[in-house]
Every structure is written in structure tokens, then in C-alpha cells.
Amino acid sequence: MTTGLKALIVGGMFVSISVSAAARQAGQPSGIRLLSPETFAQAVADAERCSPVEEILSGLRTKEGQAYAERLRAQFEAKDGAAQTTALHGPKKPSIPEECFDLSTHTTQVAVGLAGNTFYNYQFTISSPYLRVMLDRSEAKRKLSEPKLTQAAANEGMVGVVVTPYKTFSMIEDMAIKRNEQIIKPLKKSITPKTLQNGFGAKFQSSEAVFVFPVEAFETSQSVELVVIAAETTAKTTMQPAQLSKLR
């Protein structure tokens, strides 16, 4: 698991998005809320259904990729038979339910182009107790260990945004969220130096950061703009109400 995803589990200062699977599928309004006993149990169940959660967040498993792999395997089985296909390509991976891929909404990458074709790239990951419970259970399953997060521990804090550098060497300094003309500054922030290395082996200092915002900053009635201020550039990404409603 990457450092950024680990921060989602151990941070203890993030907020929940607690909407049941039934409500999401019915198209009912969703939003950021603290976990109740019912939604905590739903997060545990979703972790089992959607495992491996980390692969969905990182983009290793996508809805399109899963569909392609299943079509390809079906072609192999039609030609060679199921036993021969398993012998050559290994056992078939369990399918992840389609709605699980909504988890990818929690993570987005932003590329900022500057003069001279220099790009500063960042990855934003929005943490919630719901997501952190899922990650905690998924990680425990992978490691054959006991899960760590309780409902109370998952509910501590507010909405966390983990910002990690991706092919960028600009030091992160701050972050803000814009809702129309309102500018919301983080309640807490933690910036950690991070050493990156380019393709030629040269090392550069960058940073990884966790910013904590009030629950209201991610209310779903209007779009929000996530703005990261770095030493040499400003990175921005906009989340529309439809995207905010998919967060868990």
C-alpha cells in the first residue's frame, strides 16, 4: 500500500461519508456524515464485497479493465476449455461488483502545465471514515491480521485530503477549498518532506501533505474546487455535485 493510502487508515482525523448501498443505488442524495452503527456495518460489508479496495483507489482495477479481462478469459475458455485456461493463466479473479468502482471518485490526479512543458502533478485522495474502515478491513484481510478501526476511531476528526506528488518536485505549502466565492482553509495540516527520483537517478525534495477540512466543505449541493498551493505552482481540480455524491 502506498504512503498516501496508509495515511487514510492511520490518520484518525477524517470524516465519514455514510450512505448505505441501497440508498446509493436508489439515487438518493448522499453526503458526508459520521458513521452510525448501521453504516459502520455497511462499510465492513462493502470492504468484503469490494476487496481489494487499494487496487480500485490506485487504478489497478477498473470497471473497463475487469470487463475486458473477463471477455478475454471467456474467449480462452471457449477455445481451450476451463481447465487448460486455468493451467495456463491461473484461476479466475473474483469479479468486483460494478458499484464498487465508485470508490475511484475518492482519488484524482491533476496535471498542471507550465512554460517549457514542465508539469507538476499531484494526486488528491479524499478520506472518510467509511473509506478508512474499508481500507482497514481490506488490509487486514490481505495480511491475515485483525482490523484496527472501530466506529468511534473512524469517526474522529473531519474530512481529510491527502495530497501526494506524482512526477513533481514542487514543495507543497498549503491548500484551500473554494465553494463559489467562499474560501475554506484547512483546520489542520501536516506536510512531510518526500524525496523523489527522476529517470536519470537525480533526487529532488518534494512533500506529501494531509489537510483536514470541516464537513460542510464537501456538502453536495454545489461543486467544490480543491486548490493546492506549492512553491512553484498552484494545482486545482473541481468536483461536481454528482462526484461528491459518489463519495462514501
The dihedral through the CA atoms of 91, 92, 96, 101 has a sign that is positive
Asked whether the whole model's pTM tops 0.85, one would answer no
Q: How confident is the model at residue 154 (pLDDT cuts 50, 70, 90)?
A: confident
Residues 80 and 144 in one domain: no
Q: Given 47, 75, 95, which residue is the final one in a domain? A: 95
- CA–CA gap between residue 15 and residue 186 (Å, rounded): 13
Residues 156 and 74 in one domain: no
pLDDT digits (tens, 9 = 90+) for 168-177: 667 889 999 9
Cα diameter, the chain: 61
Query: How many structural domains are present in the chain?
Result: 2
Here the cell at position 86 is 486455468
Q: Given 78, 95, 112, which residue is the final one in a domain? A: 95
Residues 146 and 158 in one domain: yes
Residues 14 and 67 in one domain: no
Here the cell at position 104 is 475511484
Residues 182 and 239 in one domain: yes
Which residue range(s) make up the domain with 85? 62-95
Residues 86 and 206 in one domain: no
Residues 24 and 81 in one domain: no
Residues 189 and 156 in one domain: yes
pLDDT digits (tens, 9 = 90+) for 41-100: 998 999 988 888 888 887 777 877 878 788 887 888 888 888 887 888 788 877 888 888
Residues 150 and 80 in one domain: no
Residues 89 and 204 in one domain: no
Residues 203 and 168 in one domain: yes
Q: Given 95, 115, 143, which residue is the final one in a domain? A: 95
Confidence at residue 119, expressed as pLDDT on a 0 to 100 scale: 52
Residues 66 and 51 in one domain: no
3-state secondary structure of 110: strand
- CA–CA gap between residue 160 and residue 166 (Å, rounded): 19
